[in-house]
Amino acid sequence: METLLRIAIQKSGRLQEGSLDLLKESGLSFSNGKEQLKTQARNFPVEVLFLRDDDIPQYVEDKVADVGIVGENILLEKQKKNQLIRRLDFAKCRLSIAIPRAENYGGVQSLQGKNIATSYPNIVKNFLSKHNINAGIHEISGSVEIAPGIGLADAICDLVSTGGTLLSNGLKEVEVVMQSEAVIIATPQLAPEKQQILDKLLFRIEAVQKAKN
């Protein structure tokens, strides 16, 4: 049986199109993607799995997928056995702390004793302990920006790209915790035949990236 490299990408959302475009621009052609949960390239030994981005690091750790495309924010948050192989130059954003616009901010120390709502508890925990801040973390999975307005938290930590969402929720960005973009992750040790396929794909991806810059 032919060895296939299994690549997990986001099923739908902000990473989906960029991920699929990258594979197509690298010369891979697919019969169809979106409705199927799995599709095989016609002209390259690659199989694509469509998953929720949050699940991809675990699938890669468990070797259900060999490689995945996720945001660096997800890679860092999930703390799985994943290797960062390459940054991909799309889905750029930052993970930032924001507070109500009317409030004064005197540096990270102002977060002492506050309650922070976020979908990224591990990243926030590390950030706070690095700065010796004791603050409560309130984990919520979506609509984080409304938390201060409804009295659920004093501050939030969420992804920002244009800043429009913060603005329309009466918040201001006060700390950038990390910068993020789409990245390729892989299991720490790929079988040699799979590594060969990945190397060939990475070579093509590099050519695509060079042509764009």
Provide the binding-site residues for Zn ion, judged by CB under 5 A. Answer: 53-54
Q: How far is CA 78 from the centre of its chain?
A: 10
Interacting partner of 160 out of Zn ion, ligand PRT, none (Cβ under 5 to 8 A depending on kind)? ligand PRT
Is 137 or 196 the residue whose CB approaches ligand PRT more closely? 137
Q: Does 60 bind ligand PRT (CB under 6 A)?
A: no
Task: List 86's β-bridge partners, or say none.
Answer: 184
Stretch that binds ligand PRT, among 66-74, 109-117, 148-156, 171-179 (CB under 6 A): 66-74
The entry of ligand PRT, Zn ion, none near residue 123 (CB within 5 to 8 angstroms by kind) is none
The candidate with the shortest Cα–Cα distance to 150, out of 176, 170, 126, is: 170
- Determine the Cα–Cα distance for residues 98 and 78; give it in Å rounded to an integer: 22
Residue 71 found at the interface with ligand PRT (CB under 6 A): yes
| 135 contributes a contact to ligand PRT by CB under 6 A | no
Instruction: Rank residues 70 and 205 by Cβ distance to Zn ion and give the closer one.
Output: 70
CA distance 10 to 182: 11
The type of residue at 32 is: N
Q: Residue 106 contacts by C-beta under 8 Å, 6 or more apart in sequence?
A: none
Residue 17 makes contact with ligand PRT by CB under 6 A? no
Which residues, in sequence order, are bridge partners of residue 184? 69, 86
Nearer to ligand PRT, 36 or 161 (CB): 161
| Beta-carbon-side half-sphere exposure of residue 152 (alpha carbons within 13 Å) | 14
CB nearer to ligand PRT: give 57 or 197: 57
